[in-house]
Amino acid sequence: MTALASYSTGTVSVSAGGTTVTGVGTIWSGTNVRPGDILQVGNFQTVISDVTDTTHLVIPPWGGGAQAGATYKIWQVSPQRFAGAQGMQAVNDLVSALNTSGYFVFVDIDETVPDPSLGDDGQYAFQPTTGKMWAKVSGVWSYLGIYKGLQFKGAWSGATAYTVNDVVTLSGSSYACVLDHTNHTPPDTTYWQLLASKGDQGIPGPTGPAGAGDLLSTNNLSDLASAATAANNLGVVRYGGSQSLTAAQKVQAQKNTGVRELLTAARTYYVRSDGSNSNNGLANTSGGAFLTIQKAYDVISQTLDLGGFNVTIQCNNVAAFDGLALNTAWTGGGNATLDLGSGTINGTTNVINCTIPLPGIFTVQNGTLTSTTLPLINHTGTGSLNVGNITLSGANTGGFDMISATANAYIHFTGNIAFGVCSGWREIFYARTGGIIDLYGGFGQTMIMTGNMSWSDSFAYSEVGGGVKAVSGARTISTGGFTMTGKRYSVETAAFVYTQGGGANYFPGSIAGTIVGTGSYA
């Protein structure tokens, strides 16, 4: 004889005398559960009156006592399941035809994985809304990946939400999205894969004949007998002759020939709110300083060979600046420092966003980082990004991590840390996939809160091989009597949070910390 068919995925809860059964991890669809089936919890059974949705059933008043998170069986004996012998045979023939290798189990839009009770080994599950596909192997659904066509989205935009297989263009190259996101600039390999790169410039074609009147003194060629005079009149650079060049012409000549300026000593570039990006950045005056931090860094990374010397970007007139994208590495070794000079980065495009392997130590110090829409420091490349004597603040509306180190990045706090009024952040310190946030920079350092703070998850969070490190005897934490709302720490599998004896209450927060699996807190 054939045993009765049943369904038992997930757990159920029902109150004594209650008429509603609530499921957790259940998928009570029309195939799994129908009115007239029998619900059994322990030794008590009752008829199912109605199926409200995938997690709720209607029954007569329950007489089996209150149940919470209980295992159960649904005996599939509803009259709605039975038909005549000829009709049932036709159904069986149809099921036998469909139940072959390659038949798809379709996953609904509101489900994240296929129902484990459906399908046989060798079958596939498919979710049309996302393109996700699974294969059933040894009774378990195994995720295969996303299978859908390329979606061409045109030029990249920081305001567009991209999904897997969206294709964009930027600076002559094209990229395919490999991870859903918003506002991560290609070629960030965490989110984009290069499809086609911009080609080299072609060989110039032949020059056409000169038109009548081209070589006139009114066209600035006042002395055709002198090439130097003609070049000066036209403002062009002569690579084969002696010529006095302006600072801008020297920079352009170096770009044209691909030759970088080799430093022979340390150098400082200045940034002021009354400066200009057409200046050379070498004087702390409105006529000498750059206008933006990004311009100063681009000059360092694109036109210099540091030759082992250090460079500094100095902000000196205590202003608010937009942020810095570290997306091109400098050349020639040495280290780079951004000294805010008590100024503020109030980022709208970037605050400090590093997506490259750093060729040396990059330091940001002596100022305030704040944003309502972006992480304050996001390091996804390798190498050391140092932070010294900094204030962190912001009422964040995007639910971002305030300080994030991922993909083997290293963020090292080497000076005092102050927090202003902070709210809306997901985590304050977040490390994953080999990323490390090191709060130990020497003895006598402080972490001081100067306003109320709140975060939705944890003050210190590490997962998937990441780590947050502090030495309680070296860095003291003072909440200043302000309210700290949120979990103290979370440590997931294969990650760590280390305070060297700081104890479970070392980090601020209103909720105790948690450890999952092989995570470590010490």
Contact by Cβ (8 Å): 222, 233: yes
CA atoms of 237 and 232, how far apart (whole Å)? 8
Question: pLDDT (tens digit, 9 = 90+) per residue, 405-452?
Answer: 999 999 999 999 999 989 999 999 999 999 999 999 889 999 999 999
CA atoms of 271 and 299, how far apart (whole Å)? 12
SS (H, E, C) 41-89: ECCEEEECCEEEECCEEECCCCCCCCEEEECCEEECCCHHHCCCHHHHH
8-state DSSP, 247: H
8-state DSSP, 331: B
Contact by Cβ (8 Å): 56, 29: no
**Cis peptide before 35, with omega less than 30 degrees from 0?**
no
8-state DSSP, 213: T
What's the half-sphere exposure (Cβ side, CA atoms, 13 Å) at 30? Answer: 1
Q: What is the bridge-based pairing of β-strands 181-182 and 161-162?
A: antiparallel
What one-character-per-residue DSSP string does 408-455 give? TEEEEE-S-EEEEEEEEEEEEEEEETT-EEE--SSTTEEEEE-S-EEE
For residue 473, give the nearest of 449, 448, 503, 496 by alpha carbon.
503
Axis crossing angle, helix 247-257 with helix 293-303, rounded to the nearest 10? 50
CA atoms of 378 and 381, how far apart (whole Å)? 9
Contact by Cβ (8 Å): 142, 124: no
Tell me, yes or no, if the pTM score tops 0.85.
Answer: no
Contact by Cβ (8 Å): 465, 494: yes
SS (H, E, C) 463-495: ECCCEEECCCCCEEEECCCCCEEEEEEEECCCC
* Residue 212 confidence (pLDDT): 45
CA atoms of 347 and 335, how far apart (whole Å)? 24
Contact by Cβ (8 Å): 55, 24: yes
Question: pLDDT (tens digit, 9 = 90+) per residue, 17-61?
Answer: 999 999 999 999 878 999 999 999 999 999 999 999 999 999 999
At 395, give phi and psi (nearest 5°): -95, 90
> Please, what are the averages of pLDDT over each run of 10 residues along the chain (522 residues)?
86 96 92 94 95 96 95 93 57 58 79 90 87 91 86 93 92 91 94 88 64 50 61 66 69 75 97 95 96 96 96 88 94 97 92 96 97 96 96 94 96 96 96 97 94 97 96 95 97 95 96 96 96
CA atoms of 501 and 479, how far apart (whole Å)? 19
CA atoms of 402 and 90, how far apart (whole Å)? 61
Tell which phi-psi region holds residue 30, choosing left (phi > 0), alpha (psi between -120 and 50) or beta.
alpha
Contact by Cβ (8 Å): 272, 319: yes
CA atoms of 318 and 340, how far apart (whole Å)? 8
At 247, give phi and psi (nearest 5°): -60, -40
